[in-house]
Structure 1
Amino acid sequence: MVPLIGIEEEYLIVDPRTRHVVPRAAEVLAAATDVLDVVHEITRFQVEARSAPSSDLTDLGAQLRAVRKEVAAAARTCGLAVVASGIPVLGDVVPPPLSDDVRYRQGQVLYRALQDEISICALHVHVDVPDEEHAVYVGNHLRPWLPTLIAMAANSPFFVGRDTGYASWRVISWGRWPVSGAPPYFPSFGDYELALRALSESGALMDPKTVFWDTRPSPKLPTIEVRVADVPLDVSDSLTIIGLIRALVVTALAEVARGDRGLPIPSEVLRAAYWRAARDGLNGYGLDVRHGTLVPAPMMASRLLEHVRPALAEAGDLPFVEEGLDRLLARGSGATRQRRVHARGNGLTEVVDDLIEATVA
């Protein structure tokens, strides 16, 4: 049986005249009366769209395209626009204006200046799994492939007027949080529970929702949540990544059923692979953490495809994902597009203009 998938995408609200992010998410949400599941996020610069669960990538694509267009239309009625970018390109974002929610205010007390760069937008993918224990072991199996997903989805090279030199500054910024980035390897579910108790005792967690690792058992749903990717600029890239993630989960579930709880890649090696992927994206080399060797990032993407090819074929997704990956590797990620537009010499305002157009293209 092909597992159901649920999607969350986050978008930034921008003023199309200044091209700066603006804290007017509440106005956009009030205008988005025809959008069934668009909600506020931690800052007032952002909104989050959620799909209905589906097993079909084409259906998910239709949902994502429709919600992007509807949210963009709601923004236009307010004289605003939305962009799919991992981090703000322009604007005054430090400290960010938080949404009116008691949890966010509690987080401000707990996490302090860590929240200064919290105006980030990601793609979250929920895939059905039998239970939390399976989710933990599936996460073990996904760990070696997370840097490759970072490179493919990279879409945050510019941060408030500055070229960071990275393809995904969101990954670097987010990685400073105490429970974020790549999850640790857990040899047993009991080890996972012990770790969460210790993290809670330390004060690093407010509640299960603040387990921000890039794979985690969902605190609310019978799913594993994979939250490693910048929000892609192009919906077709989102769907390629979603298809690969589901295939990774299906492949991992089969391995877990055989008693394999995953390869225990050292956390420091995975951290270095994250850094390399976030810096270079698809335009450089990635670290194959299984072998400790640098290989061209597109080759790592091809190795990922081969790893999950049987699961893609079983789901009927193989031609769709093969075509999407070929397209992504040929033209590059959102970060590549942002830099290409910037290289025309008209400044970051043109980058934001292109993001506005491409988000709903």
Structure 2
Amino acid sequence: MTFDGKVMVTGGAGYIGSHAVLALLDAGYEVVVVDNLVTGFAWAVDPRATLVEMAVEDPAVRQVIRDHRVRAIMHFAGSVVVPESVSDPLKYYRNNTVASRALIESAVEEGVAHFIFSSTAATYGTPQRVPVAEGDPTVPINPYGMSKLMTEAMLRDVAAAHPINYCALRYFNVAGADPQGRSGQSTVGATHLIKIAVEAATGKRGHVGVFGTDFATRDGTGVRDYIHVSDLADAHVAALGLLVSQPAESHILNCGYGRGFSVLEVLDAVDRVTNVAIERRFEGRRAGDPAELVADNRAILAALPWRPKRDDLDGIVHDALAWERKLAEMGK
């Protein structure tokens, strides 16, 4: 089947969303971005796309869908900081679950055919086995994971009742930046480890906190599966192709490489790439952090023609560092 219309990208002025916009445009799609710019940046949106400053829960989104002949939505907008979700759960249920419900309703009312959702490995909570697969139990241990799981449930029920299909992509730890230097993580006060580490390496921070040294892992620090943001963006484009070709089918797919690195291993990689010894300060565990999260990625490799192109920790750090230096040149 052919795709006739535009793709709406919510949160397209943010970190992952801006990379998805680039991947869609590079693949030949027309894109309209809806972002309230609370945490995103208008300058991060590629000029080939149309930017509409609006909250996704605004009923006026329906007019945007009509005006731009939106046939598919990629939904990235939301709040993403796990510790904050523990201290302010209602913010996460409002920004992630309630806002998503309003957006899904707008999509159904306007006849949008395909919906790709930015979900998370936090839906699994503390997995019973590692690597964790899509069919394993989903028992979130923080409001962030629960807010995303609730949206997955809404999509499942809506797809059963209406002519719309969806793909929920469960991200593991996203890192890096566009290799061409067109976008990267620009959030002030970001909590992602590699972002924090390259900020420390470039002098923006004085140290990196290591939260928890007593996990049941090989060195006592948390282990995560780090995926390059551009590989993740490519997975979204491939997922859209799958939804268009199989309009009666929906999917939930892990997005990861299938191997994990500990916090200390990541910091060692940053030291190698930057040739700077980052100060590490060891602190207690944060609420809501599991010991180890690594993807079983066999399902996405079977369902999509997508294959990782940037599965190299030092390469991920290199791209993140290059973007950090570019931000400094831009005065950001």
**TM-score, normalised on structure 1?**
0.31
TM-score, length of structure 2 as denominator length? 0.32
